[in-house]
Amino acid sequence: MEKRELLYEGKAKKLFTTDDKDLVISEFKDDLTAFNGLKKSSETGKGALNNKISTELFKLLEANGIQTHFVKMLDDNHMLHKKVDVILIEVIVRNIATGSLSKNLGIEDGKVLPFTLVEFDYKNDALGDPKLNDQHALILGLVEFQDELDKIRRMARQINDILRPYFADKGLNLVDFKLEFGKDSSGNIILVDEISPDNCRFWDAKTGEKMDKDRFRQGLGGLKVAYEEVLNRILGK
């Protein structure tokens, strides 16, 4: 399967059409952005690491009954996946308080939450991705029915219930992460986008060291080494 026309270029990926109208190819870029695009950089090899990490995690989720857009990894930087209508909601799942949750609500950084929190943000750069409740999402027409929001929230919790113990076994705390969902050609809600250290927070269970994009956001350095370590632990190396 080969790339045809560029459909869309996002911050971390380019999307291309293929000969099959139901399939598209994502090219994982080395670019890094933070703080609504104000901080930018790039790290050679980051795209390939995210492609490989996402591939392993999509396979794991599929094996555990979660429907995703994943079809296959084509090469280091390219993934073949189903074409969907993306639902413009960023689904944030949190096990431990940090980042904007700690800042906005004054919850101590690093506090384990009494239960897993699932939040919705409006995927809209111009508005700065504001928080949404279910009524906002329905009024904006991001989905048609409440049961679609219920399904998204249920899938997000199931995904967390698979990923959290999986990473705990590998000595990584899954602190929080962002998911996106879409509707496939039959109208099923499926998991899309990527699952990588660009949109998950991983803290080493022993040392507390940050193994994700916060290394870039917070100017800590060693981003690629951390992403390689996450991939190696996934692969059991």
Q: What are phi and psi for residue 110, nearest 5 degrees?
A: 95, -5
Helix (H) or strand (E) run with residue 211 in it: none
Q: Is 203 in the site for ligand TYD (CB under 6 A)?
A: no
Q: Is 200 in the site for ligand TYD (CB under 6 A)?
A: yes
In the complex, minimum distance from the CB of residue 121 to ligand TYD, in angstroms, rounded to a whole number = 6
Q: Is 124 in the site for ligand TYD (CB under 6 A)?
A: no
Whole-angstrom distance, CA of residue 2 vs CA of residue 80: 9
Whole-angstrom distance, CA of residue 223 vs CA of residue 211: 7
Residue 91 contacts residue 156 (beta carbons within 8 Å):
yes
In the complex, minimum distance from the CB of residue 3 to ligand TYD, in angstroms, rounded to a whole number = 25
Residue 172 contacts residue 233 (beta carbons within 8 Å):
yes
Residue 150 contacts residue 137 (beta carbons within 8 Å):
no
In the complex, minimum distance from the CB of residue 5 to ligand TYD, in angstroms, rounded to a whole number = 27
Instruction: Please identify, among the stretches 48-56, 95-103, 184-192, 220-228, the one whose residues bind ligand TYD according to the rule CB under 6 A.
Output: 95-103
Q: Is 178 in the site for ligand TYD (CB under 6 A)?
A: yes
Q: Is 46 in the site for ligand TYD (CB under 6 A)?
A: no
Q: Is 101 in the site for ligand TYD (CB under 6 A)?
A: yes
In the complex, minimum distance from the CB of residue 178 to ligand TYD, in angstroms, rounded to a whole number = 4
* Bridge partners (DSSP) listed for residue 176: 94, 201
Q: Is 132 in the site for ligand TYD (CB under 6 A)?
A: no
